């Protein structure tokens, strides 16, 4: 793993804790939460205050996340919000904590100026023992206070001030006045600088969890669905409309299409999309070459073509299927036609513009693991797991590519892979994220007439020219592309 660490691809963007005052604040918060302290004088923390160095010292990688269910956190600075969340068991934990920090930034800025803020992401389940426990997690409540209870004491002082101002005899209550003075010494002037940091409840929504071997929960979909990596005890008994495993490729494909959660990376022949497919093919070639003991040091694009010819007989079905897609994307001609049973199928899909696009891309990545770049971007725990088993030659190649090509232009690479971010008018309303209509939502590229689910090509059979290769183009899609072209023209000017 040291290759990744040195290249900034692991434990990157962490917040540095090096001053004695900050270390002491961290220790007070750590003692407050788990009754332990660190002897380290310098370390780094993520958005939740988890430190890899402290975890090694305590020999506990879950010291702030016992049982992987209720994430505790330590905030030393609002700058932590830019850091990643390491080792989380739920895909939603970081976004919830980040949203909480954004909503309370002014209060947290004032509180962390003098003391650490400690808190917890609470749900109704304290330990995940069986699949049914996952469906019991409906809401996450974020609670927080300083280790010296500034928030609680400020609330008490506010109540006492109201009592002092409203009760006729409060002027003569020496005990009340004395308590107010003592509290004010610790909280400061709360009328000039109010200290309010209430708890906040967030909907859990759709999510992925590492529990039980890895499970995707899409309960807010039109057809509520749970997708587990493997068959596990209790899975079939879940009170949900559809239960699948990653082996159910055809069912997953149909469900994603019917829910409108995916689109094709290549929707019509063009060189930019062809390049994305070409890179996916290159990653597969590099994997095969490394497995054959080939030294990938200094590998160039020209060398990659040579490796293709050299190991042609060893290249997997994923490569051959993507070759058909690449040939059509770069040269036109016959539209590739294969179904979800083809190993290349999910490599050519990406999440559509929807509230759960990142989660959908995570699922697609789980179904297309030879694409190490997408694995690194969308599913880091799975990337690190796979990385441990790679040869040194492949590790060097992957780190070199991610450091020199991906890290140099992350935004551009993400846009090529997953499409541009939606404009404000296209963005989903957060308040509607967990609502479901009474009827099936249709994919914007659904054909006007029913199609046979026998391959990639989605043809509406009316022999007109509105078929854009694999999906029928909708009015919404044309409007979106028009806005994209206008934005590109403005950037050029």
Domain that holds residue 114: 2-203
Q: H helices of 61-170, where?
A: 93-103, 105-112, 131-135, 150-166
CA-CA-CA-CA dihedral for 386, 389, 395, 399, to nearest 10: 20
Q: Show Cβ contacts of residue 268 under 8 Å, excluding neighbours closer than 6 positions.
A: 468, 469
| pLDDT score at 398 | 92
The answer on 258 and 130 residing in a single domain is no
The answer on 282 and 174 residing in a single domain is no
Last-in-domain residue among 218, 245, 272: 245
User: Over its length of 493 residues, how does the chain's per-residue pLDDT go in tens digits?
Assistant: 888 888 888 888 899 999 999 999 999 999 999 999 999 999 999 999 999 999 999 999 999 998 888 899 999 999 999 999 998 999 999 999 999 999 999 888 888 888 899 999 998 788 899 999 999 898 999 988 877 665 666 667 667 667 767 777 777 777 766 776 776 766 665 555 556 677 789 988 899 999 999 999 999 999 999 999 999 999 888 889 999 999 999 999 999 999 999 999 988 888 888 999 999 999 999 999 988 888 888 777 778 888 999 999 999 999 999 999 999 998 887 888 888 999 999 999 999 999 999 999 999 999 999 999 999 999 999 999 999 999 888 998 899 899 988 888 888 888 888 887 654 344 444 444 444 433 343 333 333 333 333 333 333 333 333 333 333 333 444 454 555 566 666 655 5
The answer on 189 and 216 residing in a single domain is no
| pLDDT score at 335 | 84
Six-digit token string for 280: 């996916």
The answer on 439 and 482 residing in a single domain is yes
The answer on 370 and 240 residing in a single domain is no
CB 120 within 8 A of CB 89: no
The answer on 326 and 187 residing in a single domain is no
Give the whole-angstrom CA distance, residue 214 versus residue 372.
19
Which residue is it, tokens 């962390």?
112
The answer on 181 and 225 residing in a single domain is no
Q: Show Cβ contacts of residue 368 under 8 Å, excluding neighbours closer than 6 positions.
A: 318, 346, 347, 374
Domain count for the chain:
3
Dihedral (CA of 226, 230, 231, 233) sign:
negative
Last-in-domain residue among 180, 203, 226: 203
The answer on 465 and 341 residing in a single domain is yes
| pLDDT score at 270 | 85
Q: b/e string for 193-216 if b means 16 or more Cβ within 10 A?
A: eebebeeeebebbbbbbbbbebbb
| pLDDT score at 188 | 64
Last-in-domain residue among 216, 245, 274: 245
The answer on 423 and 296 residing in a single domain is yes
CB 374 within 8 A of CB 435: no
Q: Which residues pair with 468 in a beta bridge?
A: 471
Give the whole-angstrom CA distance, residue 300 versus residue 307.
10
The answer on 53 and 164 residing in a single domain is yes
Count Cα neighbours of 395 within 13 Å in the Cβ-side half-sphere.
16
């Amino acid at each position: 793993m040291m290759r990744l660490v040195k290249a900034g691809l692991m434990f990157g963007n962490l917040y540095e804790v090096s001053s004695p005052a900050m270390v002491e604040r961290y220790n007070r918060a750590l003692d407050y939460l788990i009754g332990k302290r660190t002897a380290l004088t310098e370390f780094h923390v993520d958005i939740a205050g988890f430190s890899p160095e402290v975890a090694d010292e305590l020999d506990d990688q879950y010291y702030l996340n016992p049982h992987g269910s209720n994430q505790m956190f330590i905030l030393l600075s609002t700058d932590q919000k830019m850091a990643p969340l390491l080792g989380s068991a739920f895909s939603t934990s970081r976004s919830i904590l980040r949203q909480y920090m954004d909503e309370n930034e002014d209060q947290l800025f004032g509180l962390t100026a003098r003391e650490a803020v400690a808190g917890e992401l609470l749900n109704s389940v304290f330990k995940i023992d069986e699949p049914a426990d996952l469906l019991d997690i409906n809401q996450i409540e974020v609670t927080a206070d300083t280790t010296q209870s500034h928030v609680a004491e400020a609330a008490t002082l506010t109540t006492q001030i109201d009592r002092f101002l409203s009760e006729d005899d409060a002027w003569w209550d020496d005990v009340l006045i004395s308590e107010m003075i003592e509290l004010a010494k610790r909280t400061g002037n709360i009328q000039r600088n109010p200290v309010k940091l209430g708890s906040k409840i967030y909907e859990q929504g759709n999510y992925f969890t590492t529990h039980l071997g890895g499970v995707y929960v899409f309960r807010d979909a039109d057809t509520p669905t749970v997708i587990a990596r493997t068959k596990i005890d209790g899975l079939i008994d879940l009170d949900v409309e559809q239960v699948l495993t990653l082996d159910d490729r055809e069912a997953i494909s149909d469900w994603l299409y019917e829910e409108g959660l995916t689109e094709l990376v290549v929707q019509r022949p063009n060189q930019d999309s062809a390049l994305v497919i070409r890179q996916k093919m290159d990653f597969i070639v590099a994997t095969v070459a490394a497995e054959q003991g080939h030294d990938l040091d200094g590998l160039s694009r020209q060398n990659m073509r040579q490796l293709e010819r050299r190991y042609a007989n060893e290249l997997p079905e994923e490569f051959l299927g993507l070759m058909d897609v690449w040939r059509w994307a770069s040269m036109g001609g016959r539209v590739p036609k294969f179904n979800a049973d083809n190993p290349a199928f999910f490599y050519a899909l990406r999440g559509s513009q929807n509230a759960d696009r990142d989660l959908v891309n995570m699922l697609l990545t789980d179904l297309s693991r030879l694409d190490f770049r997408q694995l690194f971007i969308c599913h880091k725990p799975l990337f690190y797991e796979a990385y441990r088993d790679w040869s040194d030659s492949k590790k060097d190649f992957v780190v070199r590519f991610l450091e020199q090509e991906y890290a140099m232009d992350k935004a551009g690479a993400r846009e090529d892979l997953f499409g541009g971010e939606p404009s404000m008018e296209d963005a989903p309303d957060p308040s509607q994220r967990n609502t479901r209509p009474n009827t099936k939502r249709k994919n914007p590229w659904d054909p006007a007439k029913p199609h046979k689910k026998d391959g990639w090509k989605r043809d509406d059979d009316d022999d007109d020219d509105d078929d854009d290769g694999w999906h029928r183009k909708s009015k919404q899609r044309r409007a979106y592309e028009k806005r994209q072209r206008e934005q590109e023209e403005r950037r050029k000017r």
